Amino acid sequence: MLNHIEGKLIEKTPTHVVIDCGGMGYTLNISLNTYSKLHQVNDKIKLLTHVSVNQNDFTSTAFGFFEESERVLFRQLISVSGVGSAAARMFLSSYNPLELTQHIINGNVGALKNVKGIGEKTAQRIIVDLKAKVGKNEALPDFSFNPHNKVREEALSALVMLGFVRNTAEKAVDKAIAQLSNNAAVEEIIKVALKSL
């Protein structure tokens, strides 16, 4: 099983990266939490991986994680019935691992329902299935986001790639920008926008 990929970072967006490793380019889907950590990276990068295989058509999708705590939480989420890899990534784009863990432990159904595609029953199932498990996770770091000047179009593009209709995403991004400071990072804009979608 593929545990990690280390190589040259040749493409970076809020939703995926491309890493050149031994002359081959690997595309890894990432969350906003991992994207925010990539501001610390220049050329060389190492991401932990998880590969999801679609049993119907035998296609696979690879996900990349900057830290083990996020990968553990991702795997716990997809173990819950009704939560696929796309939804797990959406959770980790809406909340950092520490916030998400706290919402699960505290039984905060409302916060979990704020994630696109998650209804009340699924939110309750996540809490029931994971409450005891996430409490046993190693201490999660407190993720902080350094402000960087990012264009509105990058945030909008990320939301469209996550499956939102462009017109709806535009309104959410504009609303988020109005709420945040002028030098807000693209991931901050997207996180605020996700809460209104």
* Chain centre distance of CA 105: 19
Dmax (CA) for the chain in angstroms is: 46
pLDDT at 43 over 50: yes
Q: Do 159 and 197 meet the contact criterion of CB atoms below 8 Å apart? A: yes
Q: How confident is the model at residue 152 (pLDDT cuts 50, 70, 90)?
A: confident
pTM flag (> 0.75): no
**What's the pLDDT at 11?**
92
pLDDT at 146 over 60: no
**What's the pLDDT at 136?**
66
Radius of gyration of the chain (CA): 16
pLDDT at 150 over 70: no
Strands 44-53 and 24-29: unpaired
**What's the pLDDT at 79?**
95
Domain spanning 4-65: which superfamily? Nucleic acid-binding proteins (2.40.50.140)
What CATH number was assigned to the domain covering residues 152-195? 1.10.8
Q: How confident is the model at residue 143 (pLDDT cuts 50, 70, 90)?
A: very low
pLDDT digits (tens, 9 = 90+) for 170-180: 888 888 887 88
**What's the pLDDT at 157?**
86
* Ranges of CATH 2.40.50.140 domains, the chain: 4-65
* Ranges of CATH 1.10.8 domains, the chain: 152-195
What CATH number was assigned to the domain covering residues 68-134? 1.10.150.20
